[in-house]
Structure 1
Amino acid sequence: MERGPRIDPERIARELDWNLLRTFVVLAESRSITEAARRLRRKQPSVSSALKRLEERIGRKLLERSPGCYELTDAGRLLYREAVEINGSVLRLSTLLREIKDEVQGHVRICVASHVVCPLFDRALADFHAAHPAATIEIDVKPSAEAVAELRAKRASFAVCLVKDRDPRLEYRRLYREFFGLYCGPRHELFGRKGLTLADLAGHAAVSFETDRLHDALGPVALLRAQAGMGERIAGLSSHLEEVRRMIVAGLGVGPLPVHVARRDVEDGLLWQTPPYSGLPAIDVHVVWNPHAARNRAEERLLQLLLDMVAATPLEERTYG
């Protein structure tokens, strides 16, 4: 456990420079002083000097640097966690300072997992745009874990993603439920074959999502693969549904897709569903937001519209496939 001089909280609050904290956030997210200086577009001695000043004001060593070693101390990790929160709040201050007008304006940034296909979500976007055409929307496709990290850092308005472990600092609402089936493409030897059983999948290569692991958000899908005897050979892996689909269609292996998403490809002869056909794993997709983040009026209106639509729609109508 690190020990150091007694810290005066009032002195830190009085003397701490936000620019030093911002520099430290970049240092903590880099692999060297040189890399941090490049990202900050500053000279290396300037960044080293900023780190030294911050350590003097905090009264703790924040970063261990030696040949072959570049890592945060315990105090550094604690400061980084808090500084990221502060950074997000400062970056979003403009949302509170904009001139208030009768017309709802502002930018909404939504982090969305790649396999989100949800009519209710689409309807919320359409209704919001019809009511507030001056507002702008950005949809950033990210793996679910990265989407949640963006919310913690207050860099996103809200997220639509899978959830494994709930962060007590965030709020969650189930948006919809989907079921995953297994599929192969036209070049695969199982394509078009009727009367298949789960045993017919044993030994075949698999294609899947990066979160398709027993301990991760798509754990039930990983279990399904294991039960089919396809747990060993992973021929293709991606965090994006479009790329998982591409590899399945190309014949790399049998892979999971949401049933309601794959339906059109099955009808068009691009995909063939393999066993099992019942008892498919159910996966819940959530709306996630940070209640401590400052939001502009556009963000508030869209998030509330979506939550109101979820509350007014029974889960059976938000269950696809």
Structure 2
Amino acid sequence: MDIDHKFAFQLDWNLLRTFLVIAEEQSITRAAHRLLRGQPAVTQALQRLEAELGCKLAERGKGAFRLTAAGRKLQAEARRLFDGVAQLPETIGQLQNELSGDVRLLVATYVVTPLLDDLLAEFARSHPKVRFSIRVETSSEVIRDIRERQATLGICLVSREFPDLEYTHMYREFFGFFCGRTHPLFGRDNLKMDDLRPYPSVAFDTEEIDNALQQIVMLRSAWGLTRVVAGRSSQLEEVRRMVMCGMGIGAFPIHVVQDSVERGLLWRLPPYEDPPEVDIFLTVNPRKHMNRAETQFLADLTRAIRHTPLEERTYRG
């Protein structure tokens, strides 16, 4: 028996499962909670795996956790292995025709579209044995994880197209500026962009000049709205929270926060005409092996996008 087979037979595969949860949660504490185990036991499992492999898998400190290069590589390989194991019941159980399996979906924080909601509802009714795992990440994290084959599908903004991925234009949305009801501009009509200049901003972490939100960044910059940034977050709900608390002016997809406007929690600010537009894409890694459920869901979603005219996939608010 060669050395590779010895390692495979001697390795405690539960260590890999524990590591995968640690890597996904980016935290020993959260991994322990998810695994229903004590934190010392999870820490010991990580240390045992590092000893088995002879390398450091994660850098840990006070309030910080980061996978090493070896850890990220192991995460990708462990996910591939566990995806294969997860498919065994389906592979062996082709005796039954009913569709089953797991669909892993990554979405950016501000993805709101009836295309996805309607398909999820219909798919769940038609295939009750299919299980979904939906994770919210920044668009750059979605692209990274799809490239590393850690999930099946990604829905996000795209600032740069990688040749190893496939992109389908899913929908178009428009961003507007908003303030909360304690803000001095709340309730005022016929404002001009100059009226916004004296006030601080609240921004997404991803508002950079070289990414998909560059139109919002350029608009802020052109009107001098970037001098004071009172708060930042990668999550739409937290940016909205800060704006509603009166910390500053924030940019949101108009259709996403329409309900908050109607409830009197947010107030629309200029520009009222020709607001910045942003395209959202369905992103797939063609090299990732998909189970039957993933293949069917991707086919159904792609079909729904292509059979819906772009105008109906454009949300102006």
Task: Provide the TM-score with structure 1 as the length reference.
Answer: 0.77
Distance 1:268 1:92, change over 3 A: same
| Deviation at residue 85 of structure 1 after TM alignment | 4.5
Partner of 1:143: 138
Where in structure 2 are the equivalents of 1:65-84 lying within 5 Å? none
Check whether the contact 2:76–2:150 (CA below 8 A) recurs between aligned residues.
Answer: no
What percentage of residue pairs aligned between the two structures are identical? 37
| Deviation at residue 138 of structure 1 after TM alignment | 2.2
Partner of 2:267: 272
**2-structure distance, mates of 1:266, 1:177:** 20
From 80, 91, 94, give the equivalent of 2:85.
94
Q: Deviations over 1:70-114 (max 9, x none)?
A: xxxxxx96x777655533321211244222221111121211111
Q: Secondary structure at the match of 2:239?
A: helix
**2-structure distance, mates of 1:17, 1:81:** 20
Where in structure 2 are the equivalents of 1:128-139 lying within 5 Å? 128-139=123-134
Distance 1:13 1:314, change over 3 A: farther
Distance 1:267 1:83, change over 3 A: closer
**2-structure distance, mates of 1:248, 1:83:** 40
| Deviation at residue 157 of structure 1 after TM alignment | 2.2
Check whether the contact 1:247–1:253 (CA below 8 A) recurs between aligned residues.
Answer: yes
Worse overlay, 180-189 or 165-174: 165-174
Q: Secondary structure at the match of 2:187?
A: coil
Distance 1:43 1:176, change over 3 A: closer
Q: Which has the larger radius of gyration?
A: 1
Where in structure 2 are the equivalents of 1:226-245 lying within 5 Å? 226-245=221-240
**2-structure distance, mates of 1:235, 1:155:** 34
Q: Secondary structure at the match of 1:244?
A: helix
Partner of 2:191: 196
Large movers: runs of 4+ above 3 Å: 11-20, 37-40, 46-52, 79-88
Partner of 2:34: none
Distance 1:14 1:300, change over 3 A: same
**2-structure distance, mates of 1:189, 1:81:** 47
Check whether the contact 1:151–1:159 (CA below 8 A) recurs between aligned residues.
Answer: yes
| Deviation at residue 249 of structure 1 after TM alignment | 1.2
Partner of 2:114: 119
Q: Secondary structure at the match of 1:256?
A: strand
Read off the aligned partner of 1:41 and give its amino acid letter.
Q
| Paired residues, number | 286
Check whether the contact 1:105–1:135 (CA below 8 A) recurs between aligned residues.
Answer: yes
**1-structure distance, mates of 2:265, 2:135:** 27
Where in structure 2 are the equivalents of 1:136-175 lying within 5 Å? 136-175=131-170
Where in structure 2 are the equivalents of 1:35-54 lying within 5 Å? 41-42=44-45, 50-51=52-53
Partner of 1:263: 258
Structure 1 residue runs without a partner (length 5+): 1-10, 31-36, 53-61, 64-75
Where in structure 2 are the equivalents of 1:98-113 lying within 5 Å? 98=89, 99-100=93-94, 101-113=96-108
From 279, 284, 290, give the equivalent of 1:289.
284
Worse overlay, 93-102 or 179-188: 93-102
Partner of 2:245: 250
| Deviation at residue 284 of structure 1 after TM alignment | 0.9
Q: Secondary structure at the match of 1:261?
A: coil
| Deviation at residue 269 of structure 1 after TM alignment | 1.6
- The answer to whether structure 1 residue 209 and structure 2 residue 204 are counterparts is yes
CA RMSD of aligned residues (A): 3.4
Q: Deviations over 1:247-270 (max 9, x none)?
A: 111111111011111222222221
Distance 1:266 1:43, change over 3 A: closer
Q: Deviations over 1:118-142 (max 9, x none)?
A: 0111111112112112212222111
Partner of 2:35: none
Read off the aligned partner of 2:79 and give its amino acid letter.
G
**1-structure distance, mates of 2:111, 2:46:** 43
Task: Provide the TM-score with structure 2 as the length reference.
Answer: 0.78
Check whether the contact 1:95–1:294 (CA below 8 A) recurs between aligned residues.
Answer: no
